Every structure is written in C-alpha cells, then in structure tokens.
Amino acid sequence: MRNLVTAALTAALLAGSASAALSVERGGVLHYGRYADSLFLDPVLNDANVDIWILSNLYDTLILPTDDGKGLEPGLATEWTVADDGLSVDLTLRKGAMFSDGSPITVDDVIWSLKRAANPDNGIWNFLLGSVEDVVAKGDDGITIKLKHTDPAILPALTVFNTAIMPKKQFEAAEGDTDAEKAKAFAEHPVGSGPFVLKSWQRGSTMTLVKNEHYWDKGEDGKPLPYLDGIEFDLLPDDATRILKLQSGEIDGAELIPYARVEELKNAEGIDMELFPSTRVANVIMNVRPQVDGKDNPLSNEKVRQGMNYAANKQAIIQIVTHGVGTPMSSYMSSATPLHTGEGAVYPYDLEKAKALMKEAGYEDGFSTSILILAGSQDEIGSATALQQMWAQIGIKLELQQVDNATRTQKYRDGEFTMRAGAWTDDIADPNEITSYYVYSPNIDAVHSGWKSEKADALFEASQKEVDQKKRAEQYAEIQKIYNATGPIIPLYETPYPVALRDKVHGFLQIPLGNNVFRAAWMDKQ
Amino acid sequence: MTAISPAAQPRRRRIRVARLPLTFVLGGLILGISLILAVFPSIFAPYDPIAMDYNAILAPPSLSHFFGTDSFGRDVFARVIHAYTVDMQIAIFATTGPLIVGVIVGALVGYAGGLTETLFGRVVDAVISFPFLVLVIAIVAVLGPGLTNMYIAVGVIDWVFYGRLVAGEVKVQKRLDYADAGRAMGYTPARIIFRHLLPNAITPAIVYWMTDMALAILLGSSLGYLGLGAQPPAAEWGVQIADGKNFMSTAWWISVFPGVAIVVTGLGFSLFGDGLAELLRTKR
Amino acid sequence: MALLSFIARRLLQLIPTLAFILVVIFVLVRLLPGDPASAILGDRARDADVVRINAELGLDQPLPVQFLVFVKNIATGDFGNSIHLKVSVASLIADRLPVTLMLTIMAALIALVLSVPLAFVAATRRGRLADNAIRGSFQVGLSMPVFYVGLILLTVFGAQLHWFPVGGFGNGFFDQLYHLFLPALTLALSLAAILMRNLRAAIIGVVDAEYVDFARAKGLRSRVIMTRHVLRNALISTINLFGLQVGTLLGGAVITETVFAIPGAGRLMIESIYGRDYPVVQGLTLALAVVVSLTFLLTDILQAWLDPRVAQ
C-alpha cells in the first residue's frame, strides 16, 4: 500500500496554503499574449510545446502535478495504489465529474483515453506509457492499469498531457474513418474535461477559451473553479510588441519575455515580472564519433571535451545571454528535475586546466570546428558568439553556422555536424525522459552525438524498472556522474520561465514542465 | 555620343551646370568617404569590432566608447565602422549583377516586343510571385550560409525589376521618331538598342539602382534573421539594429548609430543617383 | 474589345506560368533538408516516429508518384491539408490571404497619397528647399528597417498615445482597417520613398523633353500641361515599378506581419517553410502567384490606358 495519497490529505494541504492568500474575485476574461500559435490540440497526437503547454487547461488528467511540478495531487482520480508487486495500479475515479457538455466522465472514457494514449501507432508520446499492458475496469468507479514490468514513473506519467481524459462517445461520433481523422474533426468542436473549453480559434491570431461550467474542482470560495469567465490567447510573435501590448494594458499577461528585458519589467509600474522555476536547460551538443566527414574528429577525445568545458566561462555567458536570469548547470538535467544530483557548475571556469587538458590530448595548438545554431535565435547566437571568443583562448577556431530548425535536425540526425546548440524541457516529472534522449544510446544515439556508455545504458535500463526510490536515486546519481564527466555536451545554463503579468492578475502558474495553469487564476475587478 | 546624327536624337536641352554638381558632388563625397571606411576600417576604428569586454556590457556612449557598447561589451563605434566593409559590399555586389543582366535583357525584350515580351512578362510573374524565402532557405541548404549566397538569392529575383523597368522605357522610346530614323539609316538593331534607345531609357533603372543599394542593405538586415546575411560575429548594420531591438528603451545606442549609418549611406546613394540621372539626361 | 481580348490572352497565359511555378515549388520544398516530422519534433524525433509520420503523409513515395497525386488532387480543387495544423489548405488561404491583400492595398494607397503629390512638388521645385526636405525625409523612411519603424509607431501611437491598438487584427471590416493602419503605414513608407524618387525623376525627364515645350508653344496653360502631359507620361514608368513593388509586398510582408501580429499570408508562408508543411507552401505559392499575376495585369492595363503607344 505504498504511495497512497488521499484526497482528504491534499485538500487539507490546499486549504492550509490558501488561507494566506487574498480573497479571490470571480469573472473577467484574461488576455494572454503568446509567442506562437498552437498547432493541434489533441492530447495524444500533438507534437509541440505550443500545444502541450496549454492542453492542461482543456483536458484534465487522472493525477495532477503539484505546483512545484515534482509531486502528485488528485485530478480525475481521487486515490491511487500501486500494487505490492509493482505490476498494476488501481485508481479510483472522482464521483460526479463531468465533461464540458455535462455528460458524466465514465470508466469507459478513462479506459479508452489511456489505451489511445498508450497505442504505439498514435503520436510520439506513447513511450511514456510503454510499460502499460492493459487498462481494465475495477468496479464501476475505478480502473486497474496492468503493467508489463515494474515502472517507477507510471504515476508521474498519469499527470502528463497525453494521458488526459477525453469523451469516448463524442470523439468516436466525430467524422472520419481513422483515429487521426476523428481527432481532427473532434478538435473543431472539442468537448473537454479541463477547467476551460475551446470556444473559437482564429488561427494565427486569437484563441478563445471559456470556463467549463461543469468542472469538478472548487475554489477558495467553495464555488466551482475556474474563477475566470474565460481566457483569450492573443498571438503576438514579436517580443517587443508583446511587451508593448502588456504595458498599454491591452493584455494581462505575456509569456517568454526576452531575458534582456526582465530587469526593466521588474522595475515597471503595474507589472509583475514572474520567473517561474523550470526544467529548461541550454547546452551545446558535440558529435563525438571518431570521424566526421571522413576526417578525424578531435571532439571524440574526452579530454578535449573537458578542456572546452573548462574554457567556457558559463558565468559570463549567463550574464551576456540571460542577463543574469539564468543559473549554472550542475548536471545535464535541470535542478528542478527529480533525482537531479550535483552542486555548482559542472565545469567551473578554469583556463589553465583547459589548456593543460588540450595539451594532454595533443591539441595544444587547437583546431577548427563549427557549430550549428538556429537562424535568428538571439540566445543561441549569443552563446555561440561568446564561446567563439572563449575557445579562441585555447586555440579553437569556431565557425558559426546559422540554419533553420528543420535543416539542423536533418543534419544532426544524419550525423553531419560537429557541434550544435541545444535546449531541453521535461514533459514528465521524472528524470527518465531527458535521460532516455541524452544518455541512453539505443534511443537516439544520445541526442545524436554518437556517445555511448554501456554502463550508463545498463544503469538506465535497470532504473526504468527499479521501484525502490533510494536505489533508483543511486542509479541516477551514477548515471549523472558518468555523463557529466565524459558526456558529449557543454552544459551552459538553466533558465526560469519569464512571464510578465499585469499586477491585477493572481494565481496564474507555469509549472516547471511548462504547463500554463489558469485554473486558479483570477483578476482584481477595476 | 557625337556619332548620332541630329535626326536620330531628341532635341538637346540646356545643360544645367549650376544645379548639377551639388547633388552629384555631395552624394559622391558621402560614397567616397564610405568607400574609404569600407576599405580601411581598422585605421578609423579604435577597437577590435569582435572583442568582448565583460566588464563594459551595455555601457552608454562616453569618451572611451563614442557610441557605447553592446550586450557583449563590444564597441559600437568600431562595429559601425567595420560594418562599412560588409554593407558597402552588400550594396554593390547584390545589385550590380542584377542591374547589368536586367538592363540588357530589358532592352532586348523592349525592342523585340511581341512573343519575347509576352514570355518575359510571364517570367517576371513567376519570379516575383515565387516565395523568396523558400529560395533563400534552399540556397543556404545547398551552399551554406554567407554573404555570397545572399547575393545569389537576391540576384535571382532582383534582375527582373531592372528588366521590366528598362523594357517598358525602351518600348516607349522605340516608337519615338529618332528610333525610326535610326532604322531608316540602316543601323543594326544592336546599335539602335544600346547606343540610341538605352541611353534614353536607362534613367529610371539608374535611379532605381541607387534606391536598390539602400534596399539591399535593409534586406541584409531581414536576411540576418534567416542566417543568410553576414554571419556573427561580423558587424553589419542591419544585424546590429536587430541586436539592439531588445534594448531600444534601455540602450538606444546599439541600434540608433548603425541606423544613422544606413540613413547617411542611403542618402549618399540617392544623391549620387539623382546627380547621375541628371548627367545622363543632359549629356546625351 | 481590344482590351478584352488582351485580358483574355493574359489570363490564358497565366496557366503555363502557374504550372511552371507549381513544378518548381513542388520540387524545391522537397529538396529542402529535413521533413515535416523532424522539423516539428526536433530532438524528440525518433527514427520510428519519423518513418511512420512520413509514411502517413505519403512522403515515402517516389517523387513522381507524389507529384501525380498532387496534380490529381489539384485538378479536383483539393489542395490537401496542412500537415501541422490539420486543417485544409484552402481554408487556411481563405483566412490568411485576404488579410495580406487588405494590408497591401492599404499600404499601396497610403504610398500613392504620400508620393504622387510630393513628387510633383519636389520635381517642380527642383533643387530648392522643398525638394530637399521632401527627398531627405523620404530617404530616412526608406533607410529604416521595417521592424524598427513598426516598433516606433507602435510605441508612440499605440502604447503611449493610445490612438491605435498595439498590433493584432480585430473583428469586423472597419475594426480591421483600424488595426491595419499602422502596419500599412510602415510598409507604405519605403514604398512611398521608392515611388517618390522614381516619379520625381520621371517628371523631370518629361518636363525636360521636347513635347512639353511643344505644348507650351501651342499656348496651353502650364496647369493643363502638368496634369495632361507631364503627370501622365511620368506615371508610365512609375506604374511599372509600383506593380513590381506591390507584387513583392504581397509575398514578403513577413516582418511587418510579425511585428504587428497580423495573421497574414507572409507569416503563414514562413512558418510553413520552417515547418516543411509542403501542402501549405504549395497552395499558398500558387495563390500568391495568381494574385501577383493579376496585379501585373492590372498595372499593364493602366499603363496601356495612360500611354496608348504601349498597347498593341
């Protein structure tokens, strides 16, 4: 009976923390400026952060992530139990929960939603439910998820957007023959389980959500959430325009404020400059294959990589690129990721050590190399320009190559690169996602670097089934030690999510996984 | 042009000697100075344009940094001066090829008329309506990013502007008396086109050329976003202005000084162009 | 009748032009490195997913087969669906292209209103203060990057004075016109500068030419000369340039659309290119080609009307 969390306990915690808050006010439509439009709002078939980060407002999951993104709290399931053998999970569904059209959320809907999410033919997120063997009903108000093998990340997986609950009947009634076609038709007039429901969408311009009148959760005033009548997402792709619109009072919040303007907005009147903790990391990924383009590759030498790491003055990069908003990385994963270990910068700036390592490796005179950066990305251009200067001191001539995202992806998938700028944000409150991409070589060759450690691979495989939290933590500590010492990356910095809000906005939250949470947001009446 | 017989030539105007030199000389002076800066930037720039000073990030203009420093602590004055090299190159290399090709094709098309003209018209349609960005990204993908490839991308599109301008003018000139006179005298079409018609028809193209050079510099800034223009850390005005976008309210000097450089250089081109147009008009 | 047959001929010529553009764009977008799946997935693109998604999209077929399918669909009026947005390309274009058309027409009108009278003033006061002032200020307008001009206009007239909204598109025709004024002005500044310079030079050229002297000799009043002869003749080359510039504006107002947050075709195009959304790029290219070709047709007709010698 491990991992038992009762609704009562959480409710008590919630009530405790809420007493300090201001008394909420209801109503109003919050206008929120986004940098890019969503593409396709299907929990299972979407591909990108622009969808993921707002999906939780439209569809609830069985379990919700806590505000710090690391813990679990009840969602459409009120309690859950992992069996002693770790091979099944029982969940009790919330009584009386309804979809936005007023129809009840049934065991059928839940089973169907989870099976659709776990189906390997559907979308790109099914790997998060790779351990699921079957989902069956347990009585008339519960389900049992049967697992192929023990899975320590199964509960966090049930907080991820792709396991959100959708109405089976309404979905299947949508036009189309295949799941993809039905999803397309359903998305035109979706019926949701989240605090809001999509009302209208002018692509490339505005998206309007209105409150779900049938939402299950209650606010501080005892009445149903959400407090807001609705949200209007205004698409404002230019950073400066987004900020101007916020300053003029035409919108109430704006995401992705450029780091260069955080300080200015902190001092601006009437604006709350929020820096929400995140799992976002920025790095440089190297191709460590012995040969690239038929030539010997100095980056295949561990000592060269270490030397380059020591020569990269991360503190200076944090100042130049993030204007002090970022913090140095102490591991390849963000410090907000569960089971992260490490303190201080992985390779503190040490030019002498860097020179010594380059000499040891036989590259005392340096070499010429290049880095692929995303065309027009001020952050990546900034980091690469700074690295160019820093590495010149150990004799490395770095050429910057700006290409568009698809070109860059193709190049590194083909192994035709020497270095590239990279970034990552977790989608699940577990270290397994980033580790499977960055470390575990069978997945994508350790972010296509060609790096491989059999020991790290074995540790990862073991950790994927290890249900003893302490043992799993030890495994991850070991993986991080190996990777940070010999891995193919230059960790640069981690940054929070910079969101600017009018000071009348309260209760908005962006969790470390990126989800924009509006369910408890409210605004002062003017 | 003394070979032209009086009959084949429009009536001569009085040459406006008094007005002519001013625009021409002033424009020429600006461009001359710009060229000197472009060829010898290091003599005038007090700092290395790519050297960073982490202790002087975003420093306002002062005696040690006339134009202040940017977000990397690089001297903006040195970068504006060094950018002359890149931007004058862009202005000249990106437009001269299209000018030559466009003028020749335009003159031939305008003279030939008929099917040739119709075909050319459809080529123009196709080129103008073809998405420039697809072309740009394709060229970068094949040849890699850099200025030369920017010239190629611009050139593929830009020549039709000159072509269409010149074709239209030549067509009008062709119907004037002097062209008929030339034909009557048995001159070859080439001679009629390039010695008689073109000098009269080229003025709009020359005027546009000067505008086009200023536009090319601006295009450089747009393409800087796409990574096709000057590659960092090289200094280029458009890229500098884009760099300064996030600092318009806190560090105006990053974008204003390169902006002034663009305006002054553009003014030089346009003054020079006006002067040149006047010369062509009066001296023919 | 001559005009009608001219128009009919040009419309017929449109067909091979469009066919040519279609073939080129079809091949070129597929030659770009990367594919729709890896464009959108980035690091998260796993081989199995990429292969599966490409197969779903029919991109695993040989190029000629893909082209045949594409042509067959086009023939039935089906431009396919956007790969990333999952909606039909036709509806996307119907949403986005009119926005860009509105923006371009407004910009063109503003540019004409600014440039024609002032070019006239500048040309007739050649070399004097008014001429220099007009040319100087247009030069500044021409030399400033659009995003810079746009941000300044937004800051002053939007955020500070509140005369205009800070970007966005609005609802309803008049609200949209209101939203589009500042971006149209931004686009118009450089267009007006180009037109003004050209028109001024053309007016000077015409004034200097013989037939004005001839008209004067005939005793026509100078105002009549100016409107009937000079402006008419000077406009011929300017209209030519106008057509070309408006043509490029239609496909190339990307930065203005981005700064002012306008859901136009330019932004859709660049997003689709970056996302390797082949059907959208193809459909939009075709639609833009039609609009641009029609614009040229219109300027040609105007030109023929102004100068009967040009028409055949």
Residue among C300, C110, C92, C273 at smallest CA distance from C187: C110
Q: Considering only alpha carbons, which residue of chain A is nearest residue C263?
A: A204
Lowest mean pLDDT among B226-240, B244-258, C172-186, C210-224: C210-224
Whether C143 and C288 map to the same domain: the answer is: yes
- The pLDDT assigned to A22 comes to 59
What secondary structure does DSSP assign to A418-459, as a single string?
Answer: SEEEEEE--SSSSTHHHHHHHT-HHHHHHHHT----HHHHHH
Query: Final residue of a domain: which of C25, C48, C75?
Result: C75
Is the pLDDT reported for residue B100 higher than 90? yes
The superfamily in CATH containing domain B20-41+75-280 is MetI-like (1.10.3720.10)
Is the pLDDT reported for residue B121 higher than 90? no
Whether A197 and A294 map to the same domain: the answer is: no
Lowest mean pLDDT among A449-458, B152-161, B266-275: B266-275
H or E stretch at A81: strand A77-82
Residue among A279, A341, A294, A315 at smallest CA distance from A495: A279
C284 domain-assigned: yes
Condensed to tens digits (0 to 9), the pLDDT of residues A159-174 reads 999 999 999 999 999 9
Number of independent structural domains in chain C: 2
User: Helical H runs in chain C?
Assistant: 2-31, 36-41, 47-56, 63-75, 89-124, 129-143, 146-153, 173-208, 210-217, 222-224, 232-252, 254-259, 265-274, 278-306
Whether C198 and C263 map to the same domain: the answer is: yes
Q: Which chains touch C (3 or more CB pairs under 8 A)?
A: A, B
C43 domain-assigned: yes
**How long, in residues, is chain B?**
284
Whether C285 and C242 map to the same domain: the answer is: yes
Is the pLDDT reported for residue A280 higher than 60? yes
AA identity, residue A220: E
Whether C70 and C94 map to the same domain: the answer is: no
Number of H helices, E strands in chain B: 12, 0
Whether A158 and A233 map to the same domain: the answer is: no
Condensed to tens digits (0 to 9), the pLDDT of residues A81-134 reads 999 999 999 999 999 999 999 999 999 999 999 999 999 888 889 999 999 999
Name beta bridge partners: B258. none
User: C35 and A410 in contact by Cβ < 8 A?
Assistant: yes
- The pLDDT assigned to A356 comes to 96
Phi and psi at C310, nearest 5°, equal -70, -40
Residue among C292, C287, C288, C294 at smallest CA distance from C77: C287
Residue among B259, B251, B255, B234 at smallest CA distance from B56: B251
Contact A115, A98 (CB under 8 A): no
CA C28 to chain A, closest CA, distance in angstroms equals: 14
A342 domain-assigned: yes
Could you tell me the two tokens for B204?
Answer: 């709009």
Query: Final residue of a domain: which of C47, C75, C103?
Result: C75
Determine the Cα angle at C100 with ends C141 and B117, to 5°. Answer: 85
Residues 6+ apart with CB under 8 A from A326: A259, A282, A318, A493, A494, A495
Condensed to tens digits (0 to 9), the pLDDT of residues A234-274 reads 999 999 999 999 999 999 999 999 999 999 999 999 999 99
Indicate the pLDDT class of residue A142, thresholds 50, 70 and 90: very high
CATH number reported for the structural domain that contains residue A86 in this entry: 3.90.76.10
Condensed to tens digits (0 to 9), the pLDDT of residues C118-150 reads 998 888 888 788 888 898 888 888 878 888 888
Indicate the pLDDT class of residue A12, thresholds 50, 70 and 90: very low
How much is the average pLDDT of B6-16? 45
User: Percent of chain C, pLDDT > 70?
Assistant: 91
Query: Final residue of a domain: which of A140, A171, A202?
Result: A171
User: Percent of chain A, pLDDT > 70?
Assistant: 96
Number of A/C CB contacts below 8 angstroms equals: 129
C81 domain-assigned: no
Condensed to tens digits (0 to 9), the pLDDT of residues B41-77 reads 999 988 899 888 888 889 999 998 999 999 899 999 9
Whether C185 and C134 map to the same domain: the answer is: yes
User: Beta A206-211 vs A196-202: how paired, if at all?
Assistant: antiparallel
Whether C97 and C14 map to the same domain: the answer is: no
- The pLDDT assigned to A475 comes to 96
Radius of gyration of the CA atoms of chain C, in A: 24
DSSP-assigned letter for residue B12? P
Whether A348 and A425 map to the same domain: the answer is: yes
Name beta bridge partners: A104. A98
Full residue range of the structural domain in which residue C103 is found: 90-311
Condensed to tens digits (0 to 9), the pLDDT of residues C39-51 reads 888 888 888 888 8
Whether A228 and A155 map to the same domain: the answer is: no
d(CA A91, CA A157): 14
CA A478 to chain C, closest CA, distance in angstroms equals: 24
C29 domain-assigned: yes
- The pLDDT assigned to C251 comes to 65
CA A468 centroid distance within chain = 25
Indicate the pLDDT class of residue A437, thresholds 50, 70 and 90: very high
User: B137 and A316 in contact by Cβ < 8 A?
Assistant: no
What secondary structure does DSSP assign to C232-252, as a single string?
Answer: HHHHHHHHHHHHHHHHHHHHH
A466 domain-assigned: yes
Query: Final residue of a domain: which of C32, C51, C75?
Result: C75
Cβ under 8 Å to C: A residues 172-201:
180, 183-184, 187
Whether A292 and A436 map to the same domain: the answer is: yes
Indicate the pLDDT class of residue A427, thresholds 50, 70 and 90: very high
C273 domain-assigned: yes
Is the pLDDT reported for residue B12 higher than 60? no
How much is the average pLDDT of A69-92? 93
What is the residue-averaged pLDDT of chain C?
85
- The pLDDT assigned to C309 comes to 57
Whether C247 and C100 map to the same domain: the answer is: yes
Residues 6+ apart with CB under 8 A from A359: none
Is the pLDDT reported for residue C26 higher than 70? yes
Q: Which residues of A touch C276 (CB under 8 A)?
A: 406
Is the pLDDT reported for residue A2 higher than 60? no
- At which residue do the structure tokens 């005369």 appear? C163
- The pLDDT assigned to B10 comes to 45
Judged by a CB distance cut-off of 8 A, whether residue C32 touches chain A is yes
- The pLDDT assigned to C219 comes to 65
Q: Which residues of C touch A48 (CB under 8 A)?
A: 40
C85 domain-assigned: no
User: Percent of chain B, pLDDT > 70?
Assistant: 88
CA B150 centroid distance within chain = 14
AA identity, residue B1: M
Of the candidates B22, B204, B266, the beta carbon closest to that of C142 is on B266
- The pLDDT assigned to A481 comes to 95
Q: Which residue has the higher pLDDT, C219 or B190?
A: B190
Whether A83 and A94 map to the same domain: the answer is: yes
Q: Which residue has the higher pLDDT, C273 or C228?
A: C273
Q: Which residue has the higher pLDDT, B155 or A3?
A: B155
Whether A260 and A292 map to the same domain: the answer is: no
Q: Which residue has the higher pLDDT, C3 or C163?
A: C163
Full residue range of the structural domain in which residue A413 is found: 278-496
A513 domain-assigned: yes
Whether A399 and A429 map to the same domain: the answer is: yes
- The pLDDT assigned to B172 comes to 79
Of the candidates A260, A375, A388, the beta carbon closest to that of B246 is on A260
Contact B75, B240 (CB under 8 A): no
A68 domain-assigned: yes
Number of independent structural domains in chain A: 3
Whether A510 and A411 map to the same domain: the answer is: no
- The pLDDT assigned to A432 comes to 94
A17 domain-assigned: no
Of the candidates A260, A378, A402, the beta carbon closest to that of B145 is on A402
Contact B271, B26 (CB under 8 A): yes
How much is the average pLDDT of B99-103? 94
Could you tell me the two tokens for A364?
Answer: 């005392």
- At which residue do the structure tokens 């460590």 appear? A288
How much is the average pLDDT of C72-90? 89
Lowest mean pLDDT among A483-492, B202-211, B245-254, C24-33: B202-211
What secondary structure does DSSP assign to B22-40, as a single string?
Answer: HHHHHHHHHHHHHHHHHH-
User: Helical H runs in A454-514?
Assistant: 454-463, 469-486
What is the residue-averaged pLDDT of chain A?
91
Condensed to tens digits (0 to 9), the pLDDT of residues A16-67 reads 444 445 588 999 999 999 999 999 999 999 888 899 999 999 999 999 999 8
Q: Considering only alpha carbons, which residue of chain A is nearest residue B234?
A: A385
Residues 6+ apart with CB under 8 A from A18: A220
Among B111, B117, B134, B161, the strongest candidate for a mutation testing the C interface, having the largest count of C CBs within 10 A, is B134
Name beta bridge partners: A501. A253, A272
How much is the average pLDDT of A385-412? 92
Whether C67 and C122 map to the same domain: the answer is: no
Judged by a CB distance cut-off of 8 A, whether residue C85 touches chain A is yes
A178 domain-assigned: no
User: Percent of chain A, pLDDT > 90?
Assistant: 79
Whether C145 and C55 map to the same domain: the answer is: no
User: In Å, what is the CA distance from C119 to each residue of B115, B210, C271?
Assistant: 35, 17, 38
Whether C146 and C38 map to the same domain: the answer is: no
- The pLDDT assigned to B11 comes to 45
Whether C61 and C104 map to the same domain: the answer is: no
User: In Å, what is the CA distance from A42 to each residue of A112, A204, A322, B148, B216?
Assistant: 15, 18, 33, 44, 44
CATH number reported for the structural domain that contains residue C134 in this entry: 1.10.3720.10
Q: Which residues of C touch A40 (CB under 8 A)?
A: 84-86
Residue among B124, B92, B270 at smallest CA distance from C196: B270
User: B141 and A385 in contact by Cβ < 8 A?
Assistant: no
For the entire predicted model, the pTM comes to 0.87
Q: Considering only alpha carbons, which residue of chain C is nearest residue A203?
A: C263
Contact B154, B219 (CB under 8 A): yes
Whether C286 and C197 map to the same domain: the answer is: yes
How much is the average pLDDT of B222-229? 70
